[in-house]
């Protein structure tokens, strides 16, 4: 398995695992959830930061400076909210201006 294919497999596995924690029919209230810390071990593993503008574009999975949580396919909650739930970090909210290495384009 190539290094890139293995990375994609790990990312998709993380998404699938996160999806197991999503309870259908239960609406997540973002204001009730704690903010994800950049020091959280999972956040560090996924290279999460609150401010995507601080990320070196060369470090991104597919370099594109405009990537952030607000335009990621895995973000949840209401458009325009500063802190929103994310499928990768169940039980926490991420900054809409943040970024992590699992970023995926919206369909």
Q: Which residues bind ligand SF4 (CB under 6 A)?
A: 48, 69, 72, 74-75, 86, 88, 94, 98-100, 102-103
Q: Which is nearer to ligand SF4, 6 or 73 (CB)?
A: 73
Quote the CA–CA distance of 12 and 40 in Å, as a whole number.
20
Strand partners, 95: 83
Return the SS3 of 95. strand
CB of 40 vs ligand SF4, minimal distance in Å: 11
Whole-number CA gyration radius for the chain? 13
CB of 3 vs ligand SF4, minimal distance in Å: 20
CB of 22 vs ligand SF4, minimal distance in Å: 13
């Amino acid at each position: 398995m190539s290094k890139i294919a293995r990375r994609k497999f790990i990312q998709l596995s993380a998404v699938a695992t996160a999806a197991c924690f999503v309870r259908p029919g239960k609406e997540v209230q973002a204001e009730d959830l704690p903010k994800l810390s950049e020091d959280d071990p999972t956040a560090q593993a996924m290279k999460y930061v609150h401010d995507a503008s601080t990320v070196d574009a060369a470090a991104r999975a597919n370099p594109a400076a405009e990537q952030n949580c607000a335009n990621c396919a895995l973000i949840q909650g209401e458009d325009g909210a500063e802190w929103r739930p994310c499928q990768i970090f169940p039980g926490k909210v991420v900054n809409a201006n943040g970024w992590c290495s699992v970023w995926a384009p919206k369909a």
